[in-house]
Structure 1
């Protein structure tokens, strides 16, 4: 039996989709990616459908609202967080309908705690990231809300054999490097100690789900993510550098799954499946791992969300990564 929730030659998506028709987006996901479907996100719907607002709506007793500068904590829930929760509830209703009779793994996504801390402002206007105590409170609140969200998904989709939880942390490398701007934009917030970063990230990973961390920025902190408890790491293959490969090799050897982004999130005509699969095949060959493990330990995805694509491109991208994943089952030496 595989140590991963999915079977061989699996593909999935990152999360976001174009347009405003959530029912159609879910239908496309289940049609194009039957081995590992996911709950798509449609930020074009406006306030509360964006990554930060959607995830902030899961916070327990920490209401948020939209200010000209972005999301900010407030004293009581208002219309902004209500919109975010309404979007999510409608999405879950549609998921429940689309998943009737489905059996297999299911992926859901949420922004990670460090990305939220770097995006949500405190009531007085500074970013949450500037206050370690506020980060601690956000983490505890988010962990509670995320666990409740997962329980709701399991109830709605009883055929989900395992939930793959993807936490989106595009802001984490900046948090570690001390490059996140202050709320005013004139300064930079101090770098966070890697041990603290790992502890806070690990604190929101609930039991009973397969945790994956997605980071579509350069300098993915592979060792930190593994320390935090991530069992899969999702990244853009085009951003990988040879100097990353030692850390990737250590992660793979430890059993960490790789979700490799091999198709741009938007663009023109896509190459054939052999070209799309090539970054994964060549990486595996350079690392010296057995060809037989490639198709089970690597999942192919678009390089990032598809919100900026046309609906036709989004569908084609999902179909392409599904076809390219079948190539991983072939011997890379052939």
Structure 2
């Protein structure tokens, strides 16, 4: 999956008229200046794409003077996730902003020729010459002035959001939500379009029993437990069988993830229901899956899981479900704590 970006340059070309104001201000006023700006933008976006640490597809820059020009880029706009609007001039921002895709407006102050919309994007476009924000689809956080670092982190965030929306996740046992129960599951499906696949505990019990009857799986689990416990800084403070069982459970979970086509899994009843079935806690198992770059959450808590999925895809790193804590005021640290 990649983030598809369609960049466009909006501008105007004006004819001199006597005894009247005949052009808006801005550094791009002719076709030649517009073409030079297109080349500048393409070079800058090429440099940005080379720095992106996520899959990014930047389509060619299209210069647009009027709404009539939109017909030539309609297909590329509709197939893109994001319209990146270089708002040098013109009056077609409303036509470019769509509810079906994201939009970012880039304006220049000091990074190149001054853009007209640098002056008026806030009062004239976002507020429509009023005291209230009236433009749908974009707000002040979607306007970038000069900085490609500011643009890049926004693209990274939108890539993470694209990956998070519609994600599939396996719930061992019934999914729920801290404080609001099933309402959290409904919201996760409605707002995040999460595809939650429930695996009942009786089904999990059969899978664990079958895995424990497979000598190869048991032998591999024992070997991997040996390797894990031999790492520097690791001390065994429980019965060894619980560690072996955690690696058997790991194999069961990974097989489920492969079968159901999911990169994410969560465990309901992880402080109780799973213990007599797996003969271990799920904590080490989930930690191992997270270490491999997948998503593994305890508690099947869909109050917090959607934000964890989003953070994972934005950062490209493992995430940790934890409770907020109150550190000593003067120490300046924060301790993420949880049962696992």
Greater Rg over alpha carbons, structure: 2
Greater RCO (Cα-Cα under 8 Å, separation 6 or more): 1
One fold, TM greater than 0.5? no
Please state which band the TM-score falls in when normalised by the shorter chain: under 0.3
